[in-house]
Amino acid sequence: MALSDNEQNTLSIDVGGSGIKGMVLNQKGEPLNDKVRIKTPRPANPRAVLETICRVAAQQPDYDRISIGFPGVVEFGVAKTAPNLDGDWSDVRLAADVERLTGKPCRAANDADVQGYGAIEGHGVEMVLTLGTGMGSAVFTNGHLAPNLELGHHPFSRKKTYEEMLCQAARKRIGKKKWNQRVQRAVDLIIPIWNPRRLYLGGGNAEKLTFELPDQVRIVSNDAGILGGIRLWEDELH
């Protein structure tokens, strides 16, 4: 007999530029095991990343379905881009390939989209920026996602994009103080354009922010990228 949605456990996987993480959650979002993390392979081409996802999955307790947050544009489970990985990711059938390899139903979406699902309250316009190896973005209206917003590729300053100016490599190159100034400027530019009720800053580098945040801005745990995996199954866009 098939399990109802409120009885199914979800393996939520977050594919990052430096690590691939996974954890099984019950329908309430409660973790059923410790997070498993394996370094992102080098080169991070489709075959190697798929193999690593399967290694993460093999170290989990029982689960019924899989959610994947992926660092690039994903349309209906098909990867279109992956600027911080290696090889040709164009039209890689990510969800279908993982489903074939694990035998479990799978959904995949952009990693910032999934992190947003784990952070938002579901009221009004809410926006997410992820600050990690690259920079991701997502926008929601009353809890519904507008998928594949790639603000990171928009010009920011001196003919460079948001991602080029705010990525991890930039932080290491210019130092924490100047990097914080750049992030603060980005926030100041974004708020009057999108007018979000909430702007969430996540990703591995969000913990390095030191400037005073505007009232509607919140820092969220990087684990939101895993916790959002349940909500991915509640949105019919995927």
Whether the pLDDT of residue 5 is over 80: the answer is: no
Q: In the prediction, which pLDDT does 201 show?
A: 97
Whether the pLDDT of residue 1 is over 70: the answer is: no
| 51 against 224, higher pLDDT | 51
Pinpoint the residues of the chain covered by CATH 3.30.420.40: 5-114+225-233, 121-220
Query: What's the CA gap between 229 and 233, in Å, rounded?
Result: 7
Whether the pLDDT of residue 80 is over 60: the answer is: yes
Q: In the prediction, which pLDDT does 7 show?
A: 82
Whether the pLDDT of residue 236 is over 80: the answer is: no
Tell me the range of 5-9, 24-28, 54-58, 224-228 where mean pLDDT is highest.
54-58
Whether the pLDDT of residue 211 is over 80: the answer is: yes
Query: What's the CA gap between 178 and 165, in Å, rounded?
Result: 10
For the chain, strand residue ranges (E) read: 10-15, 19-25, 36-39, 65-70, 74-75, 78-79, 106-110, 125-131, 135-141, 144-146, 155-157, 160-161, 198-202, 217-219
- Assign a CATH topology to domain 5-114+225-233: Nucleotidyltransferase; domain 5 (3.30.420)
- Distance of alpha carbon 128 from its chain centroid, rounded? 10
Kindly state the average pLDDT of the residues 166-175.
Answer: 96
Q: Please check whether residue 22 is in contact with residue 102, taking contact to mean a CB–CB distance below 8 angstroms.
A: no
Q: Any idea what the Cα angle at residue 75 is, between residues 167 and 218, rounded to 5°?
A: 40
Kindly state the average pLDDT of the residues 85-114.
Answer: 96
| 223 against 119, higher pLDDT | 119
Residue range 114-159, pLDDT digits in tens: 999 999 999 999 999 999 989 999 999 999 999 888 999 999 988 8
Superfamily of domain 121-220: ATPase, nucleotide binding domain (3.30.420.40)
Q: Please check whether residue 108 is in contact with residue 95, taking contact to mean a CB–CB distance below 8 angstroms.
A: yes
Residue range 185-202, pLDDT digits in tens: 999 999 999 999 999 999
Mean model confidence pLDDT for the chain? 93
Share of the chain above pLDDT 70, in %: 96
Kindly state the average pLDDT of the residues 13-30.
Answer: 93
